[in-house]
Amino acid sequence: MQQPHRAEDAAPAGPPRPGGARVLVVEDDPTVAEVVSRYLDRAGHAVDRVEDGPTALSRAAVHWPDLVVLDLMLPGMDGLEVCRRLRARAPVPVIMLTARGDEDDRILGLEVGADDYVTKPFSPRELVLRVESVLRRTRPRSDLRPLAAAGLTVDPAARRAAKDGDELALTLREFDLLAFFLRHPGRVFSRADLMREVWGWDFGDLSTVTVHVRRLRGKVEDDPARPRLIRTVWGMGYRFDPEGQAELP
Amino acid sequence: MQQPHRAEDAAPAGPPRPGGARVLVVEDDPTVAEVVSRYLDRAGHAVDRVEDGPTALSRAAVHWPDLVVLDLMLPGMDGLEVCRRLRARAPVPVIMLTARGDEDDRILGLEVGADDYVTKPFSPRELVLRVESVLRRTRPRSDLRPLAAAGLTVDPAARRAAKDGDELALTLREFDLLAFFLRHPGRVFSRADLMREVWGWDFGDLSTVTVHVRRLRGKVEDDPARPRLIRTVWGMGYRFDPEGQAELP
DNA sequence: TGCGCTCCTTACGAAACACGGACGTCGCGC
DNA sequence: GCGCGACGTCCGTGTTTCGTAAGGAGCGCA
């Protein structure tokens, strides 16, 4: 129940798009705040903007963020204090914005438990990358939701997977790949899509994907030579079919 | 059998290939413009090249681009102003070309709302990657919307097609062809039209289209010898008839 | 009816593609 | 140090798909 005294503070921030996160940006310089918000928004995240520490705390109370981008230098309560108080409530991921070469601040920020930091002046693009990197590491509960389809169960929190009740011994990549397929059933993904979504690479040898799909099939499919779950869509990529219909004659 | 190269010139570009976009390149240095255009063209995009701001605006008025590659330093109206004016009309994605280390320009560009920037000197390949990254972020994949007509259903996201509930085993080209017809029911398209829209080729052997239409008919029509869905319009081309009325006697 | 043009049909060679097997490297635990 | 598993890469092979050619059928017109 905070009082939005500034128009900019009242940035509504609806729900994030699928794959996106709710990000709270705490920054008193309106220019920087604007640029950062725009970039994060474009990257598919829902952005809350506030200008000082107290507002940040109250906003977080209303809408707990998946991640906080926090300027170290703030009027009144400084970034470190904000970070501490947020952390006192729950272990939210934090990325600090610090002045260049301000070694002490950097150390301090990391001591308080920032997950990453970016020095000013910074590239907004870099910030977005760091945000997504941190999100990948700290992956919020939506990605920890258990999944199940076609006799397969995947528990991302425990990193366990099973087929018809029997536990599967999957490697890291195989697990991520299977989890991704279960999250997006019935859709075709090109090898490049998978490399981007599962590996996090924008380019690379696409045969890597092929090989990992094969290894995954070897563990998941009844008959790996005739896959029914992870189908090949010729010339396009792969698709996870929960239905698993029989082959056409 | 390699694909014919698209015309790479400074003239107004034709329609982009299916996966490509219409890109407006605003750059006064002819060398840079040439290299950039060539690379984007090779990547399957339709490139419009102009040398200054006013021309960019008028060109955009004629053919609104999917994305703009904009040099920040232009004679007369500078890049920022061009960006502002374009944005005033519609939120087109913009990638800025800036001088290295020109921090102020970079920030300025981002304030105006550039989606990304590349610092000179740059690798043309990197630019292409950024263009496609921005397009991925900004382009709503409306072409993934499911389609249905005349007992046919086509789901581009899953790349599945069915006739009266029975799944059709279509090849890549057949699928794209059918999807195109379903997107444009009741209109006649010449073989050249289809070759351009579905294949993305500006020229080539038109009998290729004929053969693929025949193969598609073989899988889609009740009686391929007397097609009711994909009609031949003599001397014109083909037309998809959702009504599928019987032949006149 | 015959002619010219368009469209259909079939067949074939070649390219593109997916797959399986195997190899080298790296990191980790023993 | 040594062995092992995970991972990324490469190569040979079988299959699918594609584009083109060539002959036959159908349509429109004189």
DSSP letter assigned to residue A229:
S
Domain closes at, from A87, A104, A138 = A138
Report percent pLDDT > 70 for chain B: 82
- Distance from the Cα of B235 to chain A's closest Cα (Å) equals 33
- pLDDT value at residue A4: 35
- Alpha-carbon Rg for chain B, nearest whole angstrom, is 22
Lowest mean pLDDT among A43-52, B206-215, B235-244: A43-52
Nearest chain A alpha carbon to B155: A187
Domain assignment of residue A246, yes or no:
no
A45 with A90, same domain: the answer is yes
Q: List, in sequence order, the alpha helices (H) in A154-228.
A: 172-183, 191-194, 207-220
CATH code at position A188: 1.10.10.10
The H or E element that residue A56 is part of is helix A53-62
Across residues A178-185, what is the average pLDDT? 93
**Region of B194 on the Ramachandran plot (φ > 0 left; ψ -120 to 50 alpha; else beta):** alpha
| Domain range enclosing A59 | 7-138
Domain assignment of residue A189, yes or no:
yes
B58 with B174, same domain: the answer is no
Q: What's the gap between Cα B101 and its chain centre? A: 34
Split into its structural domains, chain B has a count of 2
Using an 8 Å CB-CB cutoff, list residues of chain B that contact chain A: 103, 106-107, 110-111, 113, 115-116, 129, 133, 137-138, 157-159, 167, 169, 171-172
A38: nearest CB among B113, B138, B167: B113
- B143 neighbourhood in chain A, CB within 8 Å: none
CATH code at position A38: 3.40.50.2300
Asked if B73 and B79 touch (Cβ cutoff 8 Å), the reply is yes
- Distance from the Cα of B236 to chain A's closest Cα (Å) equals 31
Asked if B99 and B71 touch (Cβ cutoff 8 Å), the reply is no
Domain assignment of residue A174, yes or no:
yes
Has this prediction a pTM greater than 0.85?
no
The answer to whether the C-beta of A188 is closer than 7 A to strand C is no
Residue A159 (CA) to nucleotide C30 (C1'), in angstroms, measures: 25
- A187 neighbourhood in chain B, CB within 8 Å: 157-158
State the amino acid at position A146 in one-letter form. P
Residue A215 (CA) to nucleotide D2 (C1'), in angstroms, measures: 27
Q: How confident is the model at residue A28 (pLDDT cuts 50, 70, 90)?
A: confident
Domain closes at, from A93, A113, A138 = A138
- pLDDT value at residue A203: 80
CA-to-CA separations, B162 to A7, A151, B42, B157, B209, in angstroms, rounded: 52, 26, 34, 14, 22
Which of A190, A201, A234 is best to mutate for the B interface (most B CBs within 10 A)?
A: A234
The answer to whether the C-beta of A235 is closer than 7 A to strand D is yes
Mean pLDDT taken over chain A: 78
Q: What does the block give as tokens for B155?
A: 């789901």
Of B189 and A166, more confident: B189
Domain assignment of residue B246, yes or no:
no
Protein residue nearest nucleotide C14, by CA to C1' = B1
A19 with A113, same domain: the answer is yes
Statement: residue B133 has pLDDT above 60 = yes
- B167 neighbourhood in chain A, CB within 8 Å: 245, 248
Q: What does the block give as tokens for B104?
A: 């102020």
Q: How confident is the model at residue B199 (pLDDT cuts 50, 70, 90)?
A: very high
The answer to whether the C-beta of B171 is closer than 7 A to strand D is yes
The answer to whether the C-beta of A247 is closer than 7 A to strand D is no
B93 with B156, same domain: the answer is no
Across residues B168-190, what is the average pLDDT? 95
The answer to whether the C-beta of B234 is closer than 7 A to strand D is yes
State the amino acid at position A110 in one-letter form. L
Domain closes at, from A98, A119, A138 = A138
A118 with A215, same domain: the answer is no
Q: How many residues does chain A have?
A: 249
The answer to whether the C-beta of A200 is closer than 7 A to strand D is no
- Asked if the Cβ–Cβ distance from A44 to B137 is below 8 Å, we say yes
Statement: residue A244 has pLDDT above 80 = no
B161 with B223, same domain: the answer is yes
Domain assignment of residue A249, yes or no:
no
- B166 neighbourhood in chain A, CB within 8 Å: none
| C-alpha span between B17 and B1 (Å, rounded) | 18
State the amino acid at position A145 in one-letter form. R
Residues 6+ apart with CB under 8 A from A213: A177, A230, A238
B115: nearest CB among A42, A186, A235: A42
Domain assignment of residue B91, yes or no:
yes
Residue pLDDT, tens place only, B78-113: 888 888 888 888 878 888 887 755 555 555 555 556
B213 with B173, same domain: the answer is yes
The answer to whether the C-beta of A208 is closer than 7 A to strand C is no
- pLDDT value at residue B219: 95
| C-alpha span between B190 and B184 (Å, rounded) | 13
A151 with A131, same domain: the answer is no
- Asked if the Cβ–Cβ distance from A188 to B158 is below 8 Å, we say yes
- A233 neighbourhood in chain B, CB within 8 Å: 159
Residues 6+ apart with CB under 8 A from B22: B13, B15, B16, B45, B46, B48, B63, B64, B65, B66, B67
| C-alpha span between B205 and B208 (Å, rounded) | 6
Mapping DSSP onto H, E and C, the string for chain B reads: CCCCCCCCCCCCCCCCCCCCCEEEEECCCHHHHHHHHHHHHHCCCEEEEECCHHHHHHHHHHCCCCEEEEECCCCCCCHHHHHHHHHHHCCCCEEEEEECCCHHHHHHHHHHCCCEEEEECCCHHHHHHHHHHHHHHHCCCHHHCCEEECCEEEECCCCEEEECCEEECCCHHHHHHHHHHHHCCCCEECHHHHHHHHHCCCCCCCHHHHHHHHHHHHHHCCCCCCCCCEEEECCCEEEECCCCCCCCC
